[in-house]
Amino acid sequence: MRDLSLHWPGAALVALLAVAPAPGAAFYFPGVAPTSYKKGDLVPLYVNHLTPADSANDPKLRSVFSFDYYHPPFHFCQPDNGPEYVRESLGSILFGDRIQTSPFELKMVENQTCRVLCSTEKFPQRDALFVNSRIYQDYDMNWLIDGLPAAQHLSDPSTDTAFYSPGFALGQVQDENPEFNNHYDIYIDYHEAGPDNFRVVGVLVEPRSNQYPSTPSGNDCNSIDRPVILSESEDNDPVIFTYSVYWRPSPTPFATRWDKYLHVEDPKIHWFSLINSAIIVIFLIGMVSTILVRTLKKDIARYNRLDQLALDDFGDGAVEDGVQEDSGWKLVHGDVFRPPKNPLFLAVLVGNGAQLFMMVGLTIAFALLGFLSPSNRGALGTVIIVFYTLFGFIGGYVSSRVYKFFHGESWKLCFFYTPLALPSIVFSVFFLLNLFVWGRGASGAVPFTTMLILVIIWFVISIPLSFAGSWLGFKQPVIEAPVRTNQIPRQIPPSGGYLRPLPSMALSGILPFGAIFVELYFILKSIWFSKVYYMFGFLFICYGLMIMTSAAVTVLMVYFLLCAENYHWQWRSFFTAGASALYVFASALLYWVKDVSFLSWTSGVVYLGYSLLLSLLFFVLTGTIGFFASGLFVLKIYRSIKVD
């Protein structure tokens, strides 16, 4: 069940494309080719940032900040010539990685016990305060050895399987005392691929807290006298950092070394949610197709028959009245293609939504094909940026065509707002939140140079592409409305109940949200706990279900709206589908109430800020889906009736 759940959609797709490598064959994606070591070769250990983690006994999120490994208050040992940054991709940096060199010396297949790394100077009380509060907040250390994260060995109680959970504790709280880990037992699984050809296939670290009375050697590291508890009321004695390395032979080949890291927590939940949303979708699609096929056909047949009758007995008032009295969507044919209020704004939103839609879809598809496996660090972030940039073209094209359909006049504004409005909002919020992180002194803030690179990419590639797309869309012929629009707008009869804007949004927004909320929960969790997300098979299906639900529910709502002789479907469809973003935000708040307990208000601000940003993007994305679904629907039904 577990393996199936993780792999089948991906496997099916890969097999479909007939690029499936034979099992065990050496087939690697770029950047993740195996490194071979000879006996005694130095295997570098890189250190990454410290991140808040969910420990088993306290699964709450206590902070949203991450810290550089060499943040001075930690007093971690540095290499002789000072640490150096390891080259990383843009996506990796954006997602928080800060990988640096370390003074550990690991030699392939050579066990070492109790090596002293370094000893700090006196440990000032101010720094002790800092370290202790990080221990209370469950911070994890993140190391990388040959591209593999140093992990903790955990077992999943629900399925009783053991797995490697990346990261290990900075310290632990025992009897109300924060113990600072200063000894690391490093267990490295290696695989012998050939004679004197070794590969790293697994890394576990068991940290310990050990207050050494004198410089340790031999077995001293294992005999714990008392733990290191840093006093916050006076300066502490120096802390000695030590480590041991144990190499363990393993049958796992290099190609599958990530499998034990990619553990699906409780796959039943994912399946349950999938089946659940599939049922909703089937139900909705059933309802929509009933309406489309049965009701509409009947409507159209009746309208056309009445037309015929009216022609036959021209001048017979009774039949005319019959049509007039008959309420229905045909009555608004002279208004349904009347441009909405603020057409520019809607066109820009829809263009941006199309851009997001393409980006998300293609990113998930790419991930499903295995291009974004976690071994390819930062690939996910990089691909998101690349796709978003390139699809600026689509954004421009779509907004321009929609604007033309709305008979828009302010062309230049449409050209400019499409690539500028939403991205600058997103970027400003991102920038402001980063200021907060800077101000906090946490080093998880995105470096200024990375920000600059983003802005340059945006201005040099994305905006010109969007202009080109807008130009192309502008040159296309206008999408013809099948019926003429009357001079004078029709009166809209008051409608009540679920057709009023707020109830209709609340009702219909919950369905697309229902399709994705379980995956959303896991995505949020992996973002806040800086863990890789890899359940792309599930996400792919959920995304598909969400699209179908958004489309179906909006079409349904628009049909009822038109039947109530309300022809303002454009904004309404956008808001109806987009309303699911409200639920996304509500679920972020619920997560806060349930699983988050921040010790500082800055964490809260950053959490809220990113939740709002995510909800905004979700609003634009789902709103666009709703708008296009109902646009197609409206065009289709009015094409099928005859209007004189």
Ligand X SMILES: *[C@@H]1O[C@H](CO)[C@@H](O)[C@H](O)[C@H]1NC(C)=O
Listing DSSP states for 582-600 in one string gives: HHHHHHHHHHHHHHB--SS
Sole window of 134-142, 153-161, 242-250, 309-317 interacting with ligand X (rule: CB under 6 A): 242-250
Strand partners, 52: 139
Cβ contact 602:558 at 8 Å: no
Minimum separation from the CB atom of position 246 to ligand X (A): 4
Nearer to ligand X, 188 or 394 (CB): 188
Per residue in 485-504, is it b (16+ CB within 10 Å) or e — as a string?
eeeeebeeeeeeeebeeeeb
Cβ contact 516:590 at 8 Å: no
How many CA atoms, within 13 angstroms, populate the side-chain half-sphere of residue 265? 15
Nearer to ligand X, 197 or 290 (CB): 197
Minimum separation from the CB atom of position 622 to ligand X (A): 53
Tell me how many residues contact ligand X (CB under 6 A). Answer: 4
Phi-psi region of 229 (alpha: psi -120 to 50; beta: other; left: phi over 0): beta
Sole window of 169-177, 233-241, 244-252, 322-330 interacting with ligand X (rule: CB under 6 A): 244-252
Residue 261, SS3 per DSSP: coil
User: Is position 428 an interface residue for ligand X (rule: CB under 6 A)?
Assistant: no
Minimum separation from the CB atom of position 144 to ligand X (A): 21
3-state SS, one letter per residue, for 405-417: HCCCCCHHHHHHH
Residue 383 exposed, middle or buried by CB count within 10 Å (0-12, 13-18, 19+): buried
Name which position in 1, 19, 111, 295 contacts ligand X (CB under 6 A): 111
What length is written for the chain?
644
Nearer to ligand X, 205 or 367 (CB): 205
Nearer to ligand X, 29 or 246 (CB): 246
Cβ contact 549:576 at 8 Å: no
Nearer to ligand X, 45 or 524 (CB): 45
User: Is position 246 an interface residue for ligand X (rule: CB under 6 A)?
Assistant: yes
Minimum separation from the CB atom of position 163 to ligand X (A): 20
Nearer to ligand X, 98 or 199 (CB): 199
Name which position in 123, 163, 247, 575 contacts ligand X (CB under 6 A): 247
Sole window of 241-249, 314-322, 474-482, 527-535 interacting with ligand X (rule: CB under 6 A): 241-249
Nearer to ligand X, 195 or 494 (CB): 195
Cβ contact 314:379 at 8 Å: no
Cβ contact 242:221 at 8 Å: yes
Strand partners, 44: none
Minimum separation from the CB atom of position 254 to ligand X (A): 20
Distance, CA of 472 to CA of 201 (rounded, Å):
51
Distance, CA of 355 to CA of 360 (rounded, Å):
9
| 251: Cα separation from own chain's centroid | 34
Nearer to ligand X, 111 or 155 (CB): 111
User: Is position 536 an interface residue for ligand X (rule: CB under 6 A)?
Assistant: no
Listing DSSP states for 491-551 in one string gives: PPPP--GGGSHHHHHHHHHHHHHHHHHHHHHHHHHHHHTT-----HHHHHHHHHHHHHHHH
Minimum separation from the CB atom of position 250 to ligand X (A): 11
Sole window of 29-37, 135-143, 243-251, 566-574 interacting with ligand X (rule: CB under 6 A): 243-251
Nearer to ligand X, 111 or 424 (CB): 111
235: tokens are 């300066």
Minimum separation from the CB atom of position 247 to ligand X (A): 5
Sole window of 68-76, 213-221, 246-254, 363-371 interacting with ligand X (rule: CB under 6 A): 246-254
Minimum separation from the CB atom of position 189 to ligand X (A): 10
Minimum separation from the CB atom of position 192 to ligand X (A): 12
Nearer to ligand X, 206 or 265 (CB): 206
User: Is position 248 an interface residue for ligand X (rule: CB under 6 A)?
Assistant: yes
**Which of positions 476-515 make contact with ligand X (CB under 6 A)?**
none
Minimum separation from the CB atom of position 169 to ligand X (A): 21
- In the complex, the residues that contact ligand X under the rule CB under 6 A are 111, 246-248
